[in-house]
Amino acid sequence: MESKSLHRRNYSRRNFLAAATALPLVPPAKAAPETRVALARCQSYGPHLVPLLGKMFDQIGGLKKLVAGKTVAIKVNLTGAATVRLWYEPAETTYWTHPDVIGAAIYWFGRAGARRIRILESFAEGTKPLEEEMLVAGWEPADLLNAAPRVEMENTGFLGHGKRYHRLMVPNGGYIYPGFDLNHSYEECDVFVSIAKLKEHVTAGITGALKNLFGIAPCTIYGMAAGKDEPAAVPHGGRMMFHTGYRQPSRSAPQENDFTSPREEGYRVPRIVADLAAARPIHLSIVEGVETMTTGEGPWVAAGRSRKIHYVRPGVMIVGADPVATDAVAAAVMGFDPMAERGTPPFETCDSTLALAERHGLGTRDLARIEVVGEPIRNLVFPFRNYT
Amino acid sequence: MWVKLARLKETTVRSDLVPMRWPETWQDGSKFDLLRGTPINCLVGDRPPELPLGELRFVRLDPASPPEGIVLVEGVWPHVKMARRDPNAAETGPTGAPWVDSNGWRIRLAQALNPDKTVWLTYMPPKQDEIVAPAAFALAVAEAEAYGAHWVITLEENFRRGLDEGTAEAVEAWRKIVAVLKLGASSADWRRFEPVAPLAVVSSFAGEAEFLSQEFLNLADRRGLAYAIVPSSRALEARLERYKAVIYIEPQPPEGPLRAKLLDFAASGGLLILPEPPAKATAVETSFGHRIYRHGKGRIAAPVEAWADPYLLAGDVHLLIGHRHDPMRVWNGGMMNTLYLASPDGSQGVVHIVNYSLRSTLDAVTLGFPRTYQSATVLTAESATPVQPVKRRLGIEFPLPPFSTYARIELRG
């Protein structure tokens, strides 16, 4: 019956197979609601970020309802190592979330009545506290810890302060993983915030609020030296299994849905990012592009790339409740079409993280359905691909 | 006559000798032209060359009977270990940083154990079936000079043949060796400077403590944890109050006057890290694999499980002290080791950086200090470049110009 129907529409078996592989594994969710993203010009870091972010939070509906009396968990982006710089530029002006942005956001969460605020990030090696890595980078962690009452930090690359890992499932079953075992901080929070850097990404197209969640997976379970049956005690090595699928997570955690799915980075990484963002929904996204770098997610991507890395100053700040919409505006600011699919910049060699997240029902990437408040996108377009 | 001269001079040993293992195949006196105008003033080997030595000295190398004023350390050929799967990629250790075979800690340990002697490294170049770039010899010389020692320069066959034939690569490498030796010999004030370090490592560095204590020094170097070496035999005279923390690496806790001195250090506000907790003490917290006990104004830390893995110990100790007390930070120095020394009054400093990559620094190296220096000069085998400090959140930074092999940064307060 199905075959007959296909023939009536002039489908050959070959066409059908081609179309089937292009379809998402998971049925599309119903249309996402209209959403609002605040966009602002911001030429430098400093104390002026406090009023700027305050205004932007107001533009998307204010923080009080969202955070008052709640535990707020903030995933920041401290990828790589503090000792690695792009030339003489510090990590925070090229590939890390800048501490002034984190501090300003924390200040407003405190003002809006957050009960507790946790700054979260993980590292591929060891159990060092976040504060230590910040000191190595030349930051003063006390500036962040004192930006509001009851601020804490936790390295979520291992069990940390928790007694067990917490399982967060992907509501519709997931593209690659049905769920993830994560540090307690990702479940023991009422509000989850992703503060990301505006960057390109070699295997996910762009780095934004969504891709930032790659780092919530503990390397004790998803790293190169993850335990075979149980999580390792200490992380040793990055999440190569996410990239290449060369092995499975510790058996104690959910295993892949389909062991025969492609082992290709450009297929896996965007899907895993979408799975993570579905398992641990983001309530507030902040993408800062005051200063950043082109070509990839960190200085280490230089090797073998046809494009050089450039330190650049797009001078933008983007805030939204919908992470897909926030990243879509970020992509547009970077000079990309958020509706682009694989084969089109910035997704030349990978599937669109935005499209996959959209199909998970996490938001919309369609600029026509996004109300951009503050500066219009056209005023702040900073084409990353002009830098070759 | 020349044989007699050589024999006479064999007995005249000075600690300012700069040694070279003279190739036995070089029996042509014109080869000495290579040494003219260089700091090399001493030939070593099993027997003196049958050539008139002139001002050159000859020393027979016998580990069982080292020359007067010299301590011989075998050491290892310094290099970045390359990955087996990809000879163009660096092997990384558990720290994630490239794995480097280095001698800095060995030199410093030998100096601490033999304070009145000059350290000579006696290791040989890799076997002839391994390809060794002539530039690697300049690295071997530079590493020893950076730490105030000398490598007994030993030319392997390819390099020797290159010099015989005058190939550009060999001549350039020799020029660089000489330049590094001259740089090492210049402005030697810094040799009296003291390490700027938050940690003192107290140990016999021998017997049951040998592996853990020595490997701790090696791994602390690689993770940028600055330390001073205090042999147990001289610990009673050491000024421990200069340090934030002291670790005592022995299987058993200290006894007698040394125990009293170390406990005084903790009582005065320091962090004392011991192999076992103090008797009848109650831990107030557990941090980084150690239980913490209050002691006077300070703390004592003792391991939850007995120390066994020097990698974990170095990491735990660095976190117990905290990066806040790092006297210097190095960015983009993954394939480098550093040594930071300062004059007794703190007005001058010097940082030695050895670059094991055998390449000019591609990613700019930056040094950061939580204090003020007004200016700095970056000295390399090729140039002297003044650099100005840039103010940052936690102090100042000096962006360094590109360099290969070795740089000495002289800091002025």
pLDDT of residue B66: 86
Contact B327, B369 (CB under 8 A): yes
* pLDDT tens string A325-369: 999 999 999 999 999 999 999 999 999 999 999 999 999 999 999
**Burial level of A44, CB count in 10 A (0-12/13-18/19+)?**
exposed
Set of chain A residues whose Cβ sits within 8 Å of the Cβ of B395: 138
Of A216-230, B72-86, B348-362, B390-404, the range with the highest mean pLDDT is: A216-230
Nearest-by-Cβ selection for B331 from A85, A125, A127 = A85
Mutate to test the interface with B, among A45, A79, A85, A88 (most CBs of B within 10 A): A88
Distance CA A207, CA A359 (A): 18
B323 in contact with chain A, both atoms CB, cutoff 8 A: yes
Set of chain A residues whose Cβ sits within 8 Å of the Cβ of B363: 84-87, 299
* pLDDT tens string B155-183: 988 888 889 999 998 999 999 999 999 99
Nearest-by-Cβ selection for A136 from B329, B332, B334 = B329
pLDDT-derived band at A1, boundaries 50, 70, 90: very low
pLDDT of residue B26: 87
Residue A136 CB-half CA count within 13 A: 24
Residues paired with A236 in a beta bridge: A125
Residue A167 CB-half CA count within 13 A: 9
Does residue B233 surpass a pLDDT of 50? yes
Beta pairing class for A35-41 and A370-374: parallel
Q: Is there a contact between B95 and A125 if contact means CB atoms under 8 Å apart?
A: yes
Residue that is written with structure tokens 């370090």 in the block:
B197
Torsion-angle region of B160 (φ positive above 0: left; ψ -120 to 50: alpha; else: beta)? alpha
pLDDT-derived band at A33, boundaries 50, 70, 90: low
**Burial level of A17, CB count in 10 A (0-12/13-18/19+)?**
exposed
Q: Would you tell me the crossing angle of helices A99-111 and A49-59 to the nearest 10 degrees?
A: 60
Distance CA B319, CA A129 (A): 9
Task: Find, among B199, B215, B409, the residue nearest to B323 by Cα.
Answer: B199
Does residue B87 surpass a pLDDT of 70? no
Q: Is there a contact between A135 and B326 if contact means CB atoms under 8 Å apart?
A: yes
pLDDT-derived band at A8, boundaries 50, 70, 90: very low
Dihedral sign, Cα of residue B146, residue B147, residue B148, residue B151: negative
Percent of all residues in chain B with a pLDDT value above 70, rounded to a whole number: 90
Q: Please tell me which residue of chain B has the smallest CA distance to A234.
A: B312
What interface predicted TM-score (ipTM) does this complex get? Answer: 0.80
Q: Is there a contact between A139 and B393 if contact means CB atoms under 8 Å apart?
A: yes
Q: Is there a contact between B332 and A83 if contact means CB atoms under 8 Å apart?
A: yes
Does residue B280 surpass a pLDDT of 60? yes
Which two structure tokens, joined as six digits, stand for A360? Answer: 């998970």
pLDDT of residue A19: 37
Average pLDDT over all residues of chain A: 91
pLDDT of residue A68: 98
Q: Is there a contact between B288 and A236 if contact means CB atoms under 8 Å apart?
A: no
Any residues with CB less than 8 A from the CB of B90 and at least 6 apart, and which? B80, B81, B82, B83, B98, B99, B335, B357
Could you list the beta-strand ranges (E) of B171-226: 194-195, 199-203
What are φ and ψ of residue B393, in 5° steps? -55, -45
Over residues B77-89, mean pLDDT? 65
Does residue B185 surpass a pLDDT of 60? yes
Contact B361, B378 (CB under 8 A): no
pLDDT-derived band at B90, boundaries 50, 70, 90: low
Report how far Cα A130 is from the mean position of its chain's Cα atoms.
18
SS (H, E, C) chain A: CHHHHHHHCCCCHHHHHHHHHHCCCCCCCCCCCCEEEEEEECCCCCCCHHHHHHHHHHHCCCCHHHHCCCEEEEECCCCCCCCCCECCECHHHCCCCCHHHHHHHHHHHHHCCCCEEEEEECCCECCCCHHHHHHHHCCCHHHHHCCCCCEEEEECCCCCCCCCCEEEECCCCCCCCCEEEECHHHCCCCEEEEEEECEEECCCEEECCCHHHHHHCCHHHHCCCCCCCCCCCCCECCCHHHHHCCCCCCCCCCCCCCCCCCCCHHHHHHHHHHHHHHHCCCCEEEEEECCEECCCCCHHHHCCCCCCCCEECCCEEEEECCHHHHHHHHHHHCCCCCCCCCCCCCCCCCCCHHHHHHHCCCCCCCHHHEEEEECCHHHHCCCHHHCC
pLDDT of residue B188: 66
pLDDT-derived band at A176, boundaries 50, 70, 90: very high
Q: How far is CA B148 from CA B104, B336, B339, in A?
A: 9, 17, 11
pLDDT-derived band at B29, boundaries 50, 70, 90: confident
Q: How far is CA B182 from CA B177, B187, B188, in A?
A: 9, 10, 11
CB pairs under 8 A between A and B: 59
* pLDDT tens string A304-327: 678 899 999 999 999 999 999 999
Which two structure tokens, joined as six digits, stand for B165? Answer: 């034939």
Cα–Cα–Cα angle for A187, A190, A191, rounded to 5 degrees: 105
Q: Which amino acid is at B25?
A: T
Residue that is written with structure tokens 């050539």 in the block:
B51
Distance CA A355, CA A339 (A): 7
**Burial level of B257, CB count in 10 A (0-12/13-18/19+)?**
exposed
pLDDT of residue A22: 44
A132 in contact with chain B, both atoms CB, cutoff 8 A: yes
Cβ under 8 Å to A: B residues 345-384 = 363-364, 366, 368
Percent of all residues in chain A with a pLDDT value above 70, rounded to a whole number: 91
pLDDT of residue B89: 52
Nearest-by-Cβ selection for B394 from A87, A125, A140 = A140
Beta pairing class for A284-289 and B245-248: unpaired
Does residue B316 surpass a pLDDT of 80? yes
